[in-house]
Amino acid sequence: MDQMEIKPRPHSLNGTIHVPGDKSISHRAIMLGSLAEGRTTVKRFLTGEDCLTTIKVFQSMGVPIEQNDDEVRIDGKGLHGLSESVTPLNLGNSGTTTRLLLGILAGTPNHYTLFGDPSLSKRPMNRVVDPLREMGALIDGREHGNLLPLSIRGQGLKPIHYRLPVNSAQVKSAILLAGLFANGTTTVMEPVKTRDHTERMLEAFGVKVKREGDLIHISGGQTLTGVDIEVPGDISSAAFFMCAAALKENSEITLKDVGLNPTRTGIVDVLNNMGVSMTINTTRHIGDEPVGDITVKGGPMHGTTLSGDLIPRLIDELPIIALVASRAEGKTIIKDAEELRYKETDRIQAVVDTLKQMGAKVEATKDGMIIEGSTNPLNGGTYSSYHDHRIGMMVAVASVVCEEKIILDNPSCISISYPNFFDHLDALSKPN
């Protein structure tokens, strides 16, 4: 079995790194670039498995895409230029690719079959299938179209006015992308704001997106024009090292050129609330996305409560935040985060079981967890990544506060979002 030994890291973390490009933005660059007229270039593209899946899927629908390391060139086929794929589309492990793609295929009058790996095949798709059917797409699959494999036949769509029943940027984006193909104006209402990279990038491609309070309107039939995109560093990847540094006394690390879109910076707010010493410097905008440098120092921390509107702003960071909370003084309560149960694995259960095995005091609740912090050393041993990149990275970061070695099962899943994660961990935690 794929296993890795991770030795305890007794040294503080010091140094400067550039985390890889943002996963959400990299996916969207390929998708919008494929639907655009003309050429799109992408710099600092995330070469993680999920984003490579997005490239492969669009290539198999006839889009010329050339990838050289983290630079990508897409010769867009226009809104109606995707061809039928001879083979079923393999979505691997990527929820974002699957759900956003369904939005695009809903308006493409071809037939497609979509399948994924065992984890993706358990994740609910009815959250996008229901509104897309309402717009006119024909979709079927296991559990009446809730689970992959799915087949979809797109056609001319009618616009809808849709209130998001879950706080999900993937669902919002799928509907907005389908809205490009509808004969009229589609409106999405999001009661709680989620990441808005789709809206920002559509505007960069020349599409008019009207935002009015919690409503987002998009009119069908607009042309996307190819652009040059530079992807900011992924704050969800940066979070692992922000937390690693926070956990270890005398650490001081800087993460350069990280995306600071306010719909993604919940991690900064939480670490601030926990008393972590940090400086954030917004240095520039790349396109419409703010970018800057984050410096974090290690030291004592205290517990906090995470709930409500904050949750979508740090949804993917909750596993690593839970590890930090297990080392903070007092209690941390995470609630309103039931969505964690529908990720690559049930992340509430996976985090609670892992932290318990490490010796932490933590209990799962229906929509989150309650963590009682302590500074006792964590237990080493053999841990599962649950085939979930974010759980795997959480376990690896625990090595900075663990006095025994850790064996991590299936560490290779980490390349889903952070292919050079261990190089960065080694670089930051080497002896000074």
Ligand X SMILES: C=C(OP(=O)(O)O)C(=O)O
Ligand Y SMILES: O=C(O)C1=C[C@@H](OP(=O)(O)O)[C@@H](O)[C@H](O)C1
169 binds ligand Y (CB under 6 A): yes
Q: Is 153 within 8 Å of 137 (Cβ atoms)?
A: yes
In whole angstroms, the minimum distance from the beta carbon of 379 to ligand Y comes to 29
Q: Could you say which of ligand Y, ligand X, none residue 332 binds, taking C-beta under 5 to 8 angstroms by partner kind?
A: none
**Ranges of H-type helices in 248-363:** 266-273, 318-325, 347-357
- Rounded CA Rg of the chain: 21
Our finding on whether 195 is near ligand Y (CB under 6 A) is yes
Amino acid at 34: S
What whole-number distance in Å separates Cα of residue 54 and Cα of residue 114?
A: 12
Residue 294's closest CA among 263, 328, 265, 326?
265
Distance of closest approach, residue 320 Cβ to ligand X, in angstroms: 11
Task: Assess 168 for contact with ligand Y (CB under 6 A).
Answer: yes
Question: Is 316 one of the annotated active-site residues of the chain?
Answer: yes
- Decide whether 190 or 253 has the Cβ nearer to ligand Y: 190
The nearer residue to ligand X, 50 or 199, going by C-beta atoms, is 50
For position 54 contacting ligand Y by CB under 6 A, the verdict is no
Residue from 190, 199, 316, 388 that binds ligand Y (CB under 6 A)? 316
Q: Which stretch binds ligand Y (CB under 6 A): 163-171, 296-304, 355-363, 374-382?
A: 163-171
Smallest gap from residue 291 Cβ to ligand Y (A): 17
Rounded to the nearest 5 degrees, what angle is found at the Cα of 26, between the Cα atoms of 20 and 28? 160
3-state helix, strand, coil in the chain (%, to 5): 35, 30, 35
Strands 331-334 and 305-306: parallel
316 is in an annotated binding site: yes
- Range in contact with ligand Y (rule: CB under 6 A) among 86-94, 165-173, 352-360, 403-411: 165-173
- Smallest separation, CB 391 to ligand Y (Å): 13
Residue of 316, 336, 353, 426 with catalytic role: 316
- Cβ proximity to ligand Y: between 253 and 321 the closer is 321
339 part of the interface to ligand Y, by CB under 6 A: yes
Beta strands in 102-202 (DSSP E): 111-115, 138-141, 147-153, 161-163, 185-189
Nearer to ligand X, 240 or 373 (CB): 240
| Residue 41 CB neighbour total at 10 angstroms | 17
Phi, psi of 282 (to 5 degrees): -75, 115
Q: Which residues are annotated as a binding site?
A: 23-24, 28, 95, 123, 168, 170, 316, 343, 347, 390
Catalytic residues: 316
